[in-house]
């Protein structure tokens, strides 16, 4: 069985490839990347694939049985068509099964909602494609907070607009393991899974980080409008708005959802504390 992974050069795609190799061997995994050179380190066959070009995927998905579609990073309306290019190419190549990395979140009421809404449209496109399918709705990754730790230490705080809302953090490592199982095990077909961990507040996150890294951070909760202004100034309007919307969603409880991780992966999700410890060891 040949399994193709799109965006294989990205952090999530690379994690899924790594776990797939353990399950089915290098010869049965194909990586698809827009820039081939960025994925050669994976040690598998790499094929060209740009989400904007269906013809790329008409070629890249030849002789493939199952495809993992990693959600694109473009603007919402663009990514709907980009994903459709992959779905159509999968149908043209008689792919048996498509697995999609979607996201947890609300379709309305915060600045991140347009991204969620676009992902829900792709979920519908996949469900009506005629292919077998599995959809994972990813929680918020723990890694960006840990990669940003040096800045947090300089500022002495983790500052955002999440308030007392709870977030079910996951990690790319945990997701890679779950998606490998979802790709190779037919029992997951036609299921939608919330791939998330244990719900925690930002104060709890700070406590865990302080425990593992021996830091003295505090959590500083600010208004949504204030945080959005700060993030847009630092990251630009598009990304700043998205980041602020994510934390607004956490504040409003949209990321505090029941976990289906154990159903998908066949084991319990790591605790937040263990994810942080694992990240530190690998760094």
- Please count the CA atoms within 13 angstroms of the CA of 249 that sit on its side-chain side: 28
**Are 178 and 134 spatial neighbours (Cβ–Cβ below 8 Å)?**
no
For 60-90, write each residue's pLDDT tens digit.
999 999 999 999 989 888 999 999 999 999 9
In sign, the C-alpha dihedral spanning 191, 106, 165, 205 is positive
Around Cβ 156, how many Cβ atoms within 10 Å?
12
Q: Where residue 9 falls among pLDDT bands split at 50, 70, 90?
A: very high
Assess if residue 226 is contained within a domain. Answer: no
Assess if residue 251 is contained within a domain. Answer: no
**Which residues neighbour 193 within 8 Å (Cβ) at sequence distance 6 or greater?**
134, 135, 136, 137, 178, 182, 260, 261, 263, 264
**Sole residue written with tokens 């603007």:** 75
pLDDT attached to residue 48: 98
Closest CA to 186 of 133, 121, 238: 133
pLDDT attached to residue 110: 86
pLDDT attached to residue 274: 98
CA 18 to chain centre: 15
Check which CATH number belongs to the domain holding 35 and give it: 3.40.50.720
For 130-181, write each residue's pLDDT tens digit.
999 999 999 999 999 999 999 999 999 999 999 999 999 999 999 999 999 9
Assess if residue 271 is contained within a domain. Answer: no
Mean pLDDT of 252-273: 97
**Are 133 and 106 spatial neighbours (Cβ–Cβ below 8 Å)?**
no
Assess if residue 85 is contained within a domain. Answer: yes
Range with the poorest average pLDDT among 46-55, 71-80, 176-185, 265-274: 71-80
Over 90: is that where the pLDDT of 283 sits? Answer: no
The SS3 assignment for 128 reads: coil
Assess if residue 275 is contained within a domain. Answer: no
Q: Which two three-digit tokens encode residue 89?
A: 């190419």
Assess if residue 162 is contained within a domain. Answer: no
Assess if residue 157 is contained within a domain. Answer: no
Structural domain containing residue 182: 3-137+171-196+258-266
For 218-243, write each residue's pLDDT tens digit.
999 999 999 999 999 999 998 999 99
**Are 24 and 88 spatial neighbours (Cβ–Cβ below 8 Å)?**
no
**Which residues neighbour 75 within 8 Å (Cβ) at sequence distance 6 or greater?**
238
Assess if residue 241 is contained within a domain. Answer: no
Specify the number of domains making up the chain. Answer: 1
Count the residues in the chain: 283
């Amino acid at each position: 069985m040949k399994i193709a992974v799109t965006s294989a050069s990205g952090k999530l795609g690379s994690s899924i490839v790594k776990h797939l190799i353990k399950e089915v061997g290098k010869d049965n995994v194909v990586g698809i990347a827009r820039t081939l050179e960025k994925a050669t380190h994976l040690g598998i066959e790499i094929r060209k694939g740009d989400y904007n070009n269906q013809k790329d995927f008409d070629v890249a998905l030849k002789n493939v049985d199952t495809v993992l579609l990693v959600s694109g990073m473009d603007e919402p309306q663009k990514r709907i068509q980009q994903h459709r290019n992959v779905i159509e190419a999968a149908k043209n190549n008689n792919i048996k099964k498509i697995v999609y990395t979607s996201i947890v979140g609300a379709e309305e009421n915060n600045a991140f909602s347009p991204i969620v809404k676009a992902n829900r449209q792709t979920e519908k496109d996949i469900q009506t494609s005629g292919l077998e399918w599995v959809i994972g709705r990813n929680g918020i990754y723990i890694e960006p907070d840990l990669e940003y730790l040096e800045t947090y230490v300089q500022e002495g705080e983790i500052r955002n607009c999440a308030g007392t809302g709870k977030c079910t953090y996951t990690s790319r490592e945990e997701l890679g393991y779950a998606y490998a199982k979802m790709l190779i095990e037919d029992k997951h077909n036609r299921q939608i899974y919330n791939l998330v961990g244990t719900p925690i507040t930002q104060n709890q996150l700070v406590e865990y980080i302080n425990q593992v890294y021996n830091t003295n951070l505090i959590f500083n909760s600010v208004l949504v409008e204030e945080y959005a202004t700060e993030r847009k100034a630092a990251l630009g309007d598009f990304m700043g708005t998205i980041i602020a919307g994510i934390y607004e969603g956490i504040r409003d409880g949209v990321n505090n959802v029941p976990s289906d991780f154990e159903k998908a992966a066949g084991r319990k999700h790591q605790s937040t504390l263990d994810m942080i410890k694992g990240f530190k060891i690998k760094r």
